[in-house]
Every structure is written in C-alpha cells, then in structure tokens.
Amino acid sequence: MITRQAPATTEGRTIYKRPALLTNTTSYCPGCGHGIVHRLLAEVLEELGVGGRTLLVGSVGCSVFAYDYLRLDAIESPHGRAAAVATGVKRYRPDRVVFTYQGDGDLAAIGTAEIVHAAARGERFTTIFVNNGIYGMTGGQMAPTTLPGQKTTSSPNGRDVSSMGYPLPVTEMLSLLPGVQYAARMSVGDPGLVGKAKQAIKRAFEVQLEGKGFSIVEVLSTCPVGWGMTPTEAMDRLRDTVMAAYPVGTFVDRPRGIAPRLPQPGAPTKSITEGF
C-alpha cells in the first residue's frame, strides 16, 4: 500500500498556474476550442521566452478578440488578409516573432490567396489555423472546410458536394510548397491530442526562430453552438467524425528531413516518370 506523504513544509506546491501571457476571461462559448489553443500559445511563447518580442496578427471571426486574451502586442487584419499583414510586419521587423491566428473561414475561404502566397514566398512567420469547419461568429454558416453532408445555417439540408463542392485541405496543399518548412494538423479532441498540439505549436515557432521559412499548425477544434451540440457531443464528433476526414499529424518538417511524399513541381518523382 502506498502512503502519500504530505509535503515537508506547510507551503503549497505549484502544480498548475495560468500562463502570464493569458488574461482572465474570454468571450468564447462553453466547449469552444479557441480557449485551449490560446492557452497552448501562451505556454509555448513563455517556454520559448519570446513573449515580450512576439507580435500577434489577428483576423476576423470568433478569435477577433484574441488580442484581448493574449498579453501580446497585436495588429488587427481585414478579413482574410492576416498573412499579408504578417508579411509586412515580419519583413520590417525580422527580429520579432510574428504569428497569425486565423479561423477556417478567414484562412481557407476569403484569405486563400494571401496564405498561399505567403507560404510560397516562405515568409518567416507562423500561422495558427483553427479549423472548426464552420463560420462560428456569423451564426454557423458553411465554410470551405465543412464536411460533406454537414448541416449548417447556409447548407440546411447538409453540404451537397455536387453543388457546394468538397472540403478544402489547406494544410496538405500548403505542405507541397518548398517555402513551407513546417506544416502539421493537430486536434484538441482529448488531453493527449492537446499535448501533441502544443508540441507542434512549439516546433512551428522554433522553425520561425531558426529563420527557416513559413510554418503552420492547423488545429481541429469544436463549435458546439454552430454544430448544434453540447460541448461533450462536440468533442465526440471532433474525435470520431472530423478527425476521420482530416487526418492529424506532421506533414512537413523540412529542417528535420520530413518532406511530403507528394510530387514536387519541377522535380517529377520516379514513380511519376515510370508511369509514362
């Protein structure tokens, strides 16, 4: 039988504390994943010791107030333009740590040109891409990332791929580009996954600090209100359904030799040439 011993002194032992970069409250709904991702960011930036020289480039959507919840200098972007704004910030201040925080409506729909070209140029900032498959702030409309058959307020009978198209796997697409040094998709579906998401976010910032190029972490998240579910049901759906459609993992970590198995432009692989 194990007897737990009380601490030798009467002083408490800190086993949990709020990161100093995090403020007290957020406006996020119960069960929303943004709060988890904010916390991971705050922990990572503190562990890297760069919070005082990090610039947040915000976006438009539920996370528009991220600058009120993370104690960082911040600039707000027009909807979808965060990657261009971050380009301007980082090019002028390459000595600073710069990241965008964008949702899937912002990044995968209206902001596709900006994110693709920032990635293609290999801009030396990091993008945190929170994907909950829906436009949460405006009332739960269909996003490019919405799953086939998923009901939203603008796909009331479910996303019909014959007229509404297929989900856009942005992170896989970006991982093809040589300028993308690190790309991963993670999830907040359970505590273990949250821990892995933190590792990926940390690695993305390390790649930026090494000055290698663009890094992106997509984090699959929940929107209980937009999905019409309780927080528990939403977490279940995230693990069972969403993660089945969007596989998690590290797609690219070029500094560590992890490169996509997809054909590179201008350098056809053997298998392709053999096919002819």
Partner 1 sequence: MTVLARPAGADRPAGAGRPLLVASPPGTGGEASPTPDRVLMKGNEAIAEAAIAAGCDAYFGYPITPQAELLEWMARRMPEEGRVFVQAESELGAINMALGASAAGARVLVSSSSPGISLMAEAMSYMAGSRLPCVLVNIMRGGPGLGSIGAAQGDYFQATKGHGHGDYRVPVVAPSSIAEAIELVGTAFELAERYRTPVMLLADGILGQAMEPVKPAFPTLAPQSPDWRIEGAEGREPRSIRSLHLRAEDLEAHNLDLQATYARITAAEQRWAGEQLDDAEVVLVAYGTAARVARTAVMRAREQGLRAGLFRPITLWPFPADGLREAVKRARAVLVVEMSSGQMVEDVRLTLDGSVPVLLHARMGGSIPTPDEVVAAARRAWSVTESDEQPGLAPAPAGDER
**Rounded alpha-carbon distances, angstroms, from residue 138 to 12, 121, 234:** 45, 32, 19
With respect to partner 1, which residue has the nearer C-beta, 168 or 197? 168
Considering only residues 115 through 134, tell me which ones interact with partner 1, judged by CB under 8 A.
116-117, 121
- Placement of tokens 């972007």 in the chain: 77
Question: Closest approach of Cβ 84 to partner 1, in Å?
Answer: 4
- Among 40, 41, 44, 86, which residue sits at the site for partner 1 (rule: CB under 8 A)? 86
CB of 42 to partner 1, least distance (A): 12
Closer to partner 1 at the Cβ: 34 or 185? 34
Residues paired with residue 264 on neighbouring β-strands, in sequence order: 267
Least separation in angstroms between residue 76's CB and partner 1 is: 4
Distance CA 40, CA 232 (A): 21
- Rounded distance between C-alpha atoms, residue 135 and residue 145, angstroms: 10
- Which residues, numbered 196-225, are part of the site for partner 1 (CB under 8 A)? none
Choice between 68 and 190, CB closer to partner 1: 68
Among 89, 193, 197, 234, binds partner 1 (CB under 8 A): 89
Count of H helices and E strands in the chain?
12, 9
Using CB under 8 A, which of the segments 8-16, 77-85, 146-154, 222-230 binds partner 1? Answer: 77-85
Which of 219, 133, 131, 217 has its CA nearest to residue 180?
217
72 near partner 1 (CB under 8 A): yes
Binds partner 1 by CB under 8 A, chosen from 36, 37, 40, 84 = 84
Distance, CA of 159 to CA of 169 (rounded, Å):
16
H/E segment holding residue 227: helix 224-227
Site mask, partner 1, residues 45-64, x = CB under 8 A?
A: ------xxxxxxxx-----x
Phi, psi of 191 (to 5 degrees): -55, -35
Q: Which two tokens stand for residue 269?
A: 């692989």
**CB nearer to partner 1: pick between 18 and 256:** 18
- Give the integer Cα–Cα distance in Å for 26 and 179: 34
**Helix, strand, or coil (residue 241):** helix
- Pick one of 34, 39, 81, 237: the residue that binds partner 1 (CB under 8 A): 81
Residue 56's nearest CA partner among 96, 95, 26 is 96
Closest CA to 134 of 112, 106, 160: 106
Q: What is the per-residue binding string for partner 1 in 5-44, x denoting contact by CB under 8 A? A: ----------------------------------------
Q: Does the protein bind partner 1 through residue 92 (CB under 8 A)? A: yes
Stretch that binds partner 1, among 111-119, 137-145, 206-214, 245-253 (CB under 8 A): 111-119
73 part of the interface to partner 1, by CB under 8 A:
yes
Contact, 251 vs 175, CB < 8 A? yes
**Positions in the binding site for partner 1 (CB under 8 A):** 51-58, 64, 67-68, 71-78, 81, 84-93, 96-97, 113-114, 116-117, 121
